[in-house]
Structure 1
Amino acid sequence: MHTTHKKQQGITLISMILILGLIAFFTLIVLKVSPIYMNHSKVVHALETLKNRTDIEKKSKTEVWRSLAKQFNMNYVYTVKKKDVKITSRGGYLKVQIAYHVKEPFIGNLSVWVDFDDSIEVGTK
C-alpha cells in the first residue's frame, strides 16, 4: 500500500504576528511623520506667497515678518517661531531663511526629529 503525505502549507501564527507587528510599526511611523511634512508644505507655501508679492524686497524686516506671521496663523502653523526666521534686507534685495526642527514623540522615550531649512531670495544683490 502506497500512502502520500501532504505537506502543510501556510503561515505560522508566530510569522503572522511578526508580519502584523511590522505593518503596525511602519503605519505608526507614517501617522507620526506625515503631519510634520504637511505642516512643512504650509511653510513652503507661505514663503512662495511672500516671494510672489509685488515690491516685497522694499518692505522692512518687521513688515516681512508680519506678512509671514499672518500666513502662519491662517494655516495653523505653530512650529515656526520668530527666532527660526532670518531676514536679510539690503536695498532692492531680500532673503528670508527659515530653519527649524520638529520633535514628535514616537514610542516611549523614542522621538522623531525632523530638520527643515528653506529660503527665498527676491531682488538683486
Structure 2
Amino acid sequence: MNRSHKHQQGLTFISLIFILGLIAFFVLLGLKIGPIYLNHSKVVSALAEIEKTPAIEEQSETEIRNSLGKRFNINYVDDVTQDDITITHQRNYLKVTIEYEVVSKIIGNLSVLVEFNDVIEVGKQ
C-alpha cells in the first residue's frame, strides 16, 4: 500500500481526453454564439444612430422602418425582420422596440436560443 510519489504524478490519458473535450466544447460554443452577439451589436448601433438623427420623432413610421432596414442591409443583419420592430409614435415622442430571438444549432439536437429586447425613446411623452 505504500507507493512512492513517482507513480502518482501527472494526468491519466482519460482525464486528458476529458479536459480536451471540455475545452473543445466551450470553443465550439463560443464560435457559435459569438456571431450572434456581433450581429446584436450591429442592431444596437443602428438604434443608436436612429436616436441621434435630428427630428426623428417627426418622421413617419415608414421612414423610420426604411432607415432601420437600410442600416441592417448595410451591416448584413439578417436576424431582425420588420415584424420584430415595434414603433410607438405620438406627437413629440418616439419609442422603437426591437425584440427578436436567434436559434443556433450547436451539435446534433443541441441548440442555443438567445433573446434580445432593445428599446430607444426619443422626446417627451
Q: Tell me the TM-score normalized by structure 1.
A: 0.95
Q: Which runs of 5+ in 2 are unaligned?
A: none
**SS of aligned partner of 2:50:** helix
Runs of 4+ in 1 over 3 A off after TM superposition: none
Between the aligned partners of 2:97 and 2:37, the Cα distance in structure 1 is: 18
Q: Give the match's secondary structure for 2:80.
A: coil
Residue in structure 2 matched with residue 19 of structure 1 by the alignment = 19
- The total of aligned residue pairs comes to 122
Equivalent residue, structure 2, for 1:54: 54
Q: What does residue range 31-42 of structure 1 map to in structure 2 within 5 Å?
A: 31-42=31-42
1:101 correspondence with 2:115: no
Residue 73 of structure 1 aligns to which amino acid in structure 2?
Answer: N
- Which residues of structure 1 form unaligned runs of 5+? none
Over the aligned positions, Cα root-mean-square deviation in angstroms equals: 1.1
Encode CA deviations 1:12-40: one digit per residue, 9 max, x unaligned: 10011000000001111111101000000
Partner of residue 76, structure 2: 76
C-alpha displacement of 1:10: 1.1
Alpha-carbon distance, 1:88 to partner = 0.6
> What is aligned with 1:88?
88
Cα distance in 1 between the residues matched to 2:123 and 2:67: 18
Sort the Cα spacing of 1:89 and 1:6 in 2 relative to 1 into closer, same or farther, 3 A.
closer
Larger Rg belongs to: 1
If the length of structure 2 is used for normalisation, what is the TM-score?
0.95
1:119 maps onto 2:113 in alignment:
no
